[in-house]
A and B are shown apart, each in its own frame.
Chain A
Amino acid sequence: MADNRPTRDDLYTEAVASCGSALDRLARAYEVDPDKRRDLLQEIHVALWQSFEDFEGRCSLKTWVYRVAHNTATSVVIRKKMRAPALVDLEEVDASVQNESEQVLDHQATLDRVWALIQKLKPQDKQVILLYLEGMDSALIGEITGFSPGNVATKIHRIKNLLSRKFHQGERSAK
């Protein structure tokens, strides 16, 4: 009897079609340097393709893709932790935002700063907000990250407040 299960190549193609651009954004959130970011993205794609050898459909393709991508990126972050600037808690990010001097910012600059804030977050906060920004609900975010849906909601609330303050600060400065 013919095996109708999708092959590793089929699964990878499907994953890239549905989550390819999200993986680009994910790499951006983990790596500031463009060259290193490209390397990270390639590492994620290769890990993803290799991982599909063992995909048995016990979870959704989306959950699988985001777990492999985030965990690969986290592993890279841990490996280079001695060279990288320290990752900080939300409270510290918040304080650093409030202490910054007023400066004129256009929309792109504000977005860049929001990305810079996301890049500074610890892996678990970064994962939650990135998945939220990809439009996922608390249950799916919880399944991928391992946090309870309630915990996810709290984290999203706190990070959103911080990012929102950042946006408004940028708008006020632009006026």
Chain B
Amino acid sequence: MSLEEVRAKAQQFQKRIRRRNIREYSAMVLALVMAIPLAVFFRSFPLIVVAMGLIIAGTLFIAYQFRKRMSTRSFLAEAASMSCLEFYRRELERQRDANLRIWSWYILPMLPGTAMMLIGMALMPALGPGVALFYAVAFTAAFIFTGVANKRGARRLQQKIDELRS
């Protein structure tokens, strides 16, 4: 690749990141805008309004965590300064830790909002405990499945890390 092509590609890459950021922020703004009429609609059910606020806060926290874990700058610094073995181990460890900590940075932030939403639904005359229970079971199954799948993934990665050490 010529120097000009590489510069153009690097710029394209930066533009792609900018576009992705704009898309993410737009989606968040859209979610907030859409939440306002819903909050007005459910104003007589304060629990639902609070739950929506908590779910939005949880989503923002997850988005921040994703951003923190995808820094190009630190990737390049490590790729250049570490030996291949060290880098490979670090990448495996990073992914293993992300899988293991999925409860704290992906599932836990969504729990308060989801729980409050379910309680609110149970107290709403139009829905009632039956519907809330159905969603509670579905959410719990989804959370457990995500947690177990990630734990299994972390175990596989740990095996690879152990193989590197042996």
Contact = CB atoms under 8 A, between A and B. Distances in A.
A127 interface: yes
Interface stretch (A98-106, A113-121, A144-152): A144-152
A126 to B, nearest CB: 10
B1 interface: yes
Interface in A110-147: 123-124, 127, 143-147
B95 interface: yes
A160 B7 CA distance: 39
A51 to B, nearest CB: 5
Interface in A44-66: 45-47, 49-51, 54-55, 64
Which range holds the interface residue count of chain A?
20 to 34
B7 to A, nearest CB: 7
A145 B7 contact: no
Contacts of A51: 76, 79-80
If over half of B's interface residues share one DSSP class (helix, strand or loop), that class is named, otherwise mixed; here it is helix
A146 B86 contact: yes
Contact of A74 (B13, B91, B164): B91
B13 A46 contact: yes
A144 B88 CA distance: 12
B83 A67 contact: yes
Interface in B1-42: 1, 3, 5-7, 9-10, 13
If over half of A's interface residues share one DSSP class (helix, strand or loop), that class is named, otherwise mixed; here it is helix
Contacts of A12: 3, 6
Contacts of B5: 45
B79 A145 contact: no
B75 interface: yes
A49 B83 contact: no
A68 B88 contact: no
Interface centre among B10, B80, B85 (most CB of A within 10 A): B80
A169 interface: no
Interface in B146-160: none
B92 interface: yes
B87 to A, nearest CB: 4
Nearest to B89: A146
B126 interface: no
Nearest to A78: B91
Contact of A75 (B9, B77, B81, B91): B91
Contact of A45 (B6, B78, B85, B164): B6
Interface in B60-109: 72, 75-88, 91-92, 95
Interface in A1-54: 9, 12-13, 16, 41-42, 45-47, 49-51, 54
21 contacts: A42-B9, A45-B5, A45-B9, A46-B10, A46-B13, A47-B76, A49-B6, A49-B7, A49-B10, A50-B10, A67-B79, A67-B87, A70-B84, A71-B78, A71-B88, A74-B88, A74-B91, A75-B79, A123-B88, A124-B85, A124-B88
Minimum-distance CB pairs A-B, first 10: A146-B83, A146-B85, A71-B79, A71-B87, A145-B84, A45-B1, A49-B6, A51-B80, A51-B76, A70-B84
Interface of B: 1, 3, 5-7, 9-10, 13, 72, 75-88, 91-92, 95, 164
